[in-house]
Amino acid sequence: MRAHLGDQLVIESQKTGATRRDGEIVGLHHADGTPPYDVRWSDTDDVTLVFPGPDAHLHHLEHSPEAPPASSEPGTERAGVVSDSHRPDRAPNPGDIGRRVAAERERQGLTRAAVASRAAMAPEYVAYLEERPADPSLGALTRLAGAMGTSVEALRGGGIDLPPGQGQALLHPQLRSLSPDECRARLSTHGVGRVAVTTPEGPAVVPVNYEVIDDAIAFRTAPDSAPAAAVGTDIAFEVDHLDEAASQGWSVLVVGHAQHVTEPDAVRRLAEGAHTKPWAGGEREMWVSIQPQRLTGRSISPADQQ
């Protein structure tokens, strides 16, 4: 079996002969087109490493003579040459692994070609990983980790149970204030934020699912919960995002008066317009609204990034 990039791999049912699964070959691991292949499955859009069995066959597509060869060195194994020329509708949208690969490579001042050479991969495959939501094999991740002196766990985002912000700081960070419009854009329409309130047991900071309605912050809670103690007081609401892979992030702080929303039509609009149910579960039908009196934010990014 010899394939080209863009060919269709079809897996048939051995009993009926009908197509059981099919996908596009987006990566070659050998210059002569022999298996294994990286296949983007049509039913899930996932990319996986495939060693075709006897129930598999290829549908070859017409290939332009100008198409680049899988390797500039015939007979030499080059892992994962990838082309997205057959999917012009796909805008670059790197996955988490690709972003971590790119961030580590850039932090070390390495080019894609240098990483590819160290990892025995084609530069096109490194570019594909950094720009697309790919699912590289364990072998590919192991070679990439070795090429950059890091670990597979780090590239996969290991340490999810650890507090955020333990990554390495930027060499040349830029700390700047966000404008009100930038703050509103980062608040977006919903997400998870934190409210800081004073309770009978003392100060508390509690995460809540929130909505943004007409510039006001609204969240659901239970009447006997800590966030409910915010009603009738001035409180702080904070939302942030940390990009561990790139060692950058932002935070937005809202200060305002909290009110219990009781008007039936307003409650109904909030309930109908809610994007998610509270992650904590349970009966949380008490809506609290915060009308911003002060809106501020800051971001940390590389000094050369505008």
Q: Is residue 128 within 8 Å of residue 101, measured between CB atoms?
A: no
| pLDDT surpassing 80 at residue 89 | no
Residue type, 227: P
Q: Give the residue from 81, 76, 80, 35 showing the smallest Cα distance to 58.
A: 35
Do β-strands 248-261 and 234-243 pair in parallel, antiparallel, or remain unpaired? antiparallel
Determine whether 195 is exposed, middle or buried from the number of CB atoms within 10 Å of its CB (0-12, 13-18, 19+): buried
Mean pLDDT rounded to a whole number for the chain = 78
Rounded to 5 degrees, φ, ψ at 189 are -110, -20
User: Domains in the chain, start-ordered, CATH in brackets?
Assistant: 8-155 (1.10.260.40), 175-302 (2.30.110.10)
| pLDDT surpassing 90 at residue 82 | no
State pLDDT tens for residues 50-66. Answer: 888 888 888 876 543 43
Q: Is 186 helix (H, G, I), strand (E, B) or coil?
A: helix
State pLDDT tens for residues 200-230. Answer: 888 889 899 898 888 889 898 888 888 888 8
Q: What is residue 75's predicted lDDT score, i.e. its pLDDT?
A: 30
Rounded to 5 degrees, φ, ψ at 182 are -65, -40
State pLDDT tens for residues 268-299. Answer: 888 877 777 776 776 778 889 899 999 999 99
Kindly write down the DSSP assignment for every residue of 92-136, as one continuous string: ----HHHHHHHHHHHHTT--HHHHHHHTTB-HHHHHHHHHS----
Q: Give the residue from 211, 207, 205 showing the smallest Cα distance to 187.
A: 211
Q: What is residue 91's predicted lDDT score, i.e. its pLDDT?
A: 44
Q: What is residue 159's predicted lDDT score, i.e. its pLDDT?
A: 58
Q: Is 23 helix (H, G, I), strand (E, B) or coil?
A: strand
Measured CA to CA, the distance from residue 133 to residue 127 in angstroms comes to: 11
Measured CA to CA, the distance from residue 283 to residue 221 in angstroms comes to: 8
| pLDDT surpassing 70 at residue 241 | yes
State pLDDT tens for residues 3-33. Answer: 888 888 888 766 655 667 888 888 888 888 8
Q: Is 284 helix (H, G, I), strand (E, B) or coil?
A: coil
